[in-house]
Structure 1
Amino acid sequence: MVAACLFAADAVAREPVTLEDLQTLASQKAWAELLERAEDLPAPKRTDAWRALVTDAAAADVETLAPSDKEPFAATQRARALGRRYAFLPKAPRFATARDQGASKDLQRCLERDRRGCIDTFLELTPDLGPEAALQAAHLVKQGHFAYVAMPLFALAVGGGKDVSACKDAALAETVIAALGLPKEDPRAVQATKVAFEGCWSALGPKLKAATVGASSYFLANTCQPMRARKALSELQDDLCKDEEL
């Protein structure tokens, strides 16, 4: 009898809501409750207006979460969970802006606390990060680390594009050159090679050519062959590569 009463009470408490109910919650800025009740609206009634309400609520929810020492990626984790729950959210500009801004603040908090794994955690939680947000994150990382540490984020900013705006970023050029000085099998050297010779050759070619003189054996191992293929080596530079048997 008690179980039946509890079940009945729960059924009453979770009665389907109307769009008007959700709009009222939005007018009250009761974002958490709106997100909790949004899926109580029957699926056939989940119109563009419903998606707009969910988007506003999700963005506001992420914006109110501040990073803490205990959980520096609170907003990023929340945005990730909401993006999985509502498949349309990652493509909604309003939500994407809140997500990317929150992720940047979370990353900064993590870096300020000198936590290990900040970059890996950031990348894991932000698979839909936009190029501008990735570039901003790369700058944050580069400020307090060896330049090559930021390579994964600069690579994300370039993506699979060619001659994108990020290619002209001075910090990206410095990071690529630094990462090309790592052993060839290092993932950051692999990313730098792709950015340098596939995505940003027009912008980085002259800088790479200048960096060849006096470069380390690692740098030459990563650059000699692709630069020779582009006929970008001077006779002296080609001799340097040959001296390294490259």
Structure 2
Amino acid sequence: MSTDMKKEFTSQELYFIALVPGIIAILMVKFYHPVTPIAVILIWPAFLSGANAVRSVARYGLGTGTASIGYWGTAVGATIAFISQFINPAYNFVSPYFEILSALIVGAVTGICAQRIIKMKIPVMIRDSAILASSTAIIAMFLLGMLTEYSASVTTVDAYITYPLIYIATTLAILHPFNGSMGAGENQRRTLRLSAVEASMTTALFGLIALLFSEALFFTGISVIIVSAAGFVIFVKRWFSAVKEDTYEFAWTGYPPAEH
């Protein structure tokens, strides 16, 4: 049976699946940093939620605008997460609720502007702009928490230099799954499986960043890399399985072997 005929998750369903584990993951790294490797697993659904929001909007025919909606939406969520660190470097109990809600509201406002001012006429623009921004804020808050364990050698100030990398890496992991899967045979299952692959790659990258930051984050970095690598292997297998199911035929397109 074609995968297009199978029931798809709605944007709201994926967002709520990402929201609760995401908040738990942020609080875990805040209150007990050694559990970061477990928290990493809980943050992956936020990548899927964001990727699905991009997919939902871009399927209305944005074409090359797929990347634009990705950068636009993630910029809102990441910026709010970063601004909160300047306002409240102590990362107090108000976080992450304020940031996630703020990203949801501002994301919706940008969607309204796209609908009413730019006249994009995409029915899901407001909803998915909000979900995209909020999902990004969840990821950014987690990564900042992972890199800012309180110690003599790692401070919030040190994490400022990672802001551009957090934004770009998160954005690429969110916008690329649909961009890399779109076409006549695109379906949510395969796109979200690719999103899971890229989510694990992104957290592995920040495990490496944690290693480079400080000896205080050595365990965090190593363990995050190991967990992310295990997730990567699992997700790649599942994604490639979906690719093979949805592909009519594999054909070799390189040069033929030399004749002897």
Higher relative contact order (CA 8 A, sep 6+): 2
Structure of higher CA gyration radius:
1
TM-score (norm 1): 0.25
TM-score (norm 2): 0.24
More helix by share: 2
